[in-house]
Amino acid sequence: MRKKFTGVVAIAAIAAIAAIGLTGCSTTASTDTASAKPFKVIAFTSGNQTPIGAWWVKAVTAEAATNGWELTMIQGDFDFTKMNPAVESAIGQGADAIFDGYTDVASIGSIVTAAKDAKIPIFAMDSATAVSDAFVTNITTNQQGIVDQTLGAISAKIGGLKGKNIMVIGHDPHPGIRMRAGLAKDALIKAGANIAGGDVQKVKSPATGRTEALALVADYLTAHPGGLDAVWVGWDDAALGALKGVTEAGSAAVVTGVDASSEAIAGIEAGGNFLATIDQPWPSILKMIDADLLAYQKDGTLPAKSFIAVDANLVDITNAATTTPSDKL
Q: Rounded distance, CA 195 to CA 229, Å? A: 11
Q: Do 52 and 104 fall into the same domain? A: yes
**How does pLDDT run across 78-127, given as a tens digit for each residue?**
899 999 999 999 999 999 999 999 999 999 999 999 999 999 999 999 99
The overall average pLDDT reported for the chain is 90
Q: Rounded distance, CA 198 to CA 308, Å? A: 33
Q: Do 237 and 304 fall into the same domain? A: no
Q: How many domains does the chain have?
A: 2
Q: Do 323 and 176 fall into the same domain? A: yes
Is 89 a domain residue?
A: yes
Q: Do 323 and 180 fall into the same domain? A: yes
pLDDT of residue 36: 74
For β-strands 254-256 and 274-279, DSSP reports them as: parallel
Is 2 a domain residue?
A: no
Q: Do 252 and 173 fall into the same domain? A: yes
pLDDT of residue 207: 81
For β-strands 313-315 and 274-279, DSSP reports them as: antiparallel
Is 263 a domain residue?
A: yes
For β-strands 97-101 and 122-125, DSSP reports them as: parallel
Is 261 a domain residue?
A: yes
Q: Do 172 and 319 fall into the same domain? A: yes
pLDDT of residue 206: 81
**How does pLDDT run across 152-176, given as a tens digit for each residue?**
999 999 999 999 999 999 999 889 9
Range of the domain at 267: 143-281+315-328
**How does pLDDT run across 65-83, given as a tens digit for each residue?**
999 999 999 999 989 999 9
Is 216 a domain residue?
A: yes
Q: Do 121 and 176 fall into the same domain? A: no
As a whole-number percent, the residues of the chain with pLDDT over 90 amount to: 85
Assess whether pLDDT exceeds 60 at residue 17.
no
Q: Do 155 and 120 fall into the same domain? A: no
Is 1 a domain residue?
A: no
Q: Do 276 and 165 fall into the same domain? A: yes
CATH number at residue 88: 3.40.50.2300
Assess whether pLDDT exceeds 60 at residue 61.
yes
Q: Do 131 and 147 fall into the same domain? A: no
Helix intervals (H) in the chain:
7-20, 51-67, 80-92, 109-117, 143-158, 175-190, 209-223, 236-248, 262-269, 282-299
Strand stretches in 91-136, DSSP E? 97-101, 122-125
